[in-house]
Structure 1
């Protein structure tokens, strides 16, 4: 893989996007990983009117404005990329067609490449089941792997931090996110499909099998 590539990992909450990104990074080598959720978590720690309002919205299970999301990831993407970096991986972005258009414009301008979307597909039923039992690290906010939840872990396997349940993982907030995914994000998935730049993966398999399918399909694209 000699060219610089731009990948987007798209999927419902609970689809395991973060887990697959970590596996993909090991395969690709040095990458620039841009996580939409992390950008927002850092932003709401700022002491200003917009950050305080956004924090209130996010903590209540609501969705922050699309223009703010686009501003945050564009700002991060345009920061200097260190030598030897093989790819940029966006986790949870783009979420709307116009964001995908912007990402393609920037990628084309900087790297003569258009973004490729990897869609980790799970049903609403599966997403709800996963989210209702989801646990995350209090410190690094990484989700606890679902197979470990049954073991009732007390510490994060990534950083050793304490474990908690996310405040916005209640049934009402989950339903709101799933509805939003259908109305806003699925059209973006279709956008990539029509452009011939979509890798569709069954996310309801065991983690190793999900990645096996992902890498099998993606590596063929990288070789072409």
Structure 2
């Protein structure tokens, strides 16, 4: 689901023409997305020019709306926010990126740092901090919520190999072993072996528990 809004340039009366910060919102929870859009639209110098409800729509809407800044949720269906941020960097190099998350998993924070997003905030921050962050990012500053900065120093790297993560990511998406084998060009027996190794490495009760552990740690975001 996506919505495109008209280009933004507002005449501010006695202050003359003021260039408005053009924002693209990517958030899969509609109520949250609409609330964020309404919050930002209250500001005279901000306009939401596009909204997307999944990662697959992100690049197409960004190309159409040419935002100054994209606000991306980390966990979205289709294409996660950090992978979307990487691709958006390649497609629109001038677009700044502010990532929102409910996760403080060290591995997620480190990956955001590696991508060099312009801002990284937790969703439970006060609303006014988001508006302030948008302006700071547009001014060329880097913004990160303090608890996320602290989290970057903690935790261990993922114990999963790239292929194990691929298999578990498909399990998380609801795929069965036979489907995973076909998608990854593996034998069903090899897929079962990978899943057995994953469950053992994560000290999980079963594959469902392994998905929970890996997701909470931020190890299932696409690489």
Task: Normalising by structure 1, report the TM-score.
Answer: 0.27
Bigger Cα Rg: 2
Identify the structure with bigger relative contact order (alpha carbons < 8 Å, sequence gap 6+). Answer: 1
Q: TM-score, normalised by structure 2?
A: 0.27
